[in-house]
Amino acid sequence: MENNNIQIDIDEAIIEFVKSHCIDKIDIKKKVEEIVEAVLKEQNINANIVDVSIQSATEEEIKEINKKYRGVDKATDVLSFPIFTREEIKQMGSGSNLQLNTEIELGDIILCLNIIEKQSKEYATGLIREILYMITHGMCHLVGHDHEIEEEKVVMRALEEKVLKKVGVGNPHEK
């Protein structure tokens, strides 16, 4: 697959959070581009230009967004707002509906960095891994995956771990 131009609109607050909280200095934007490319490759989605927006929100902000759009009155770690339906994404993956030189906007991912930081400690995953996992999780939603049904959850979790492994972010609990 050739993605000539992956355009990530990443909130500067996320970049600064990673710089100030992580000992291992990584280029978060480059890592996110690798994640986006890996997810698209796994889904056989080809495009010259791919746009994804990744923003941050406080716990109160993400709680309000979650309540407004999902009817769930609680804060959460990540929310995804895909542009395309699962069926449209499947058509893109089959190549039947998308020309190679088409620009596609996949949607928006919103991270709550405070919750992600707490989870990284609770799950003993490390902050960078947890942030990248949540971005990967959000990307999987943007390309039509879900985890409401157990069978779908198994497929989505396997894709998440496969993508993270491809970009050099292993699971700290695997031996």
In a domain, 81, yes or no: yes
Q: What is the CATH number of the domain that holds 87?
A: 3.40.390.30
pTM of the model: 0.91
pLDDT of residue 143: 94
Between 36-40, 95-99, 155-159, the lowest mean confidence (pLDDT) is in 95-99
Contacts of 28 (CB under 8 A, 6+ apart): 10, 14, 15, 18, 131
pLDDT band for position 94 (50/70/90)? Answer: low
Contacts of 32 (CB under 8 A, 6+ apart): 8, 10, 52, 54, 132, 135
Domain assignment of residue 62, given as a range: 5-166
In a domain, 65, yes or no: yes
User: How far is Cα 106 from Cα 121, in angstroms, rounded to an integer?
Assistant: 30
Closest to 144 in 3D by CA, of 134, 152, 154: 152
pLDDT band for position 100 (50/70/90)? Answer: low
In a domain, 174, yes or no: no
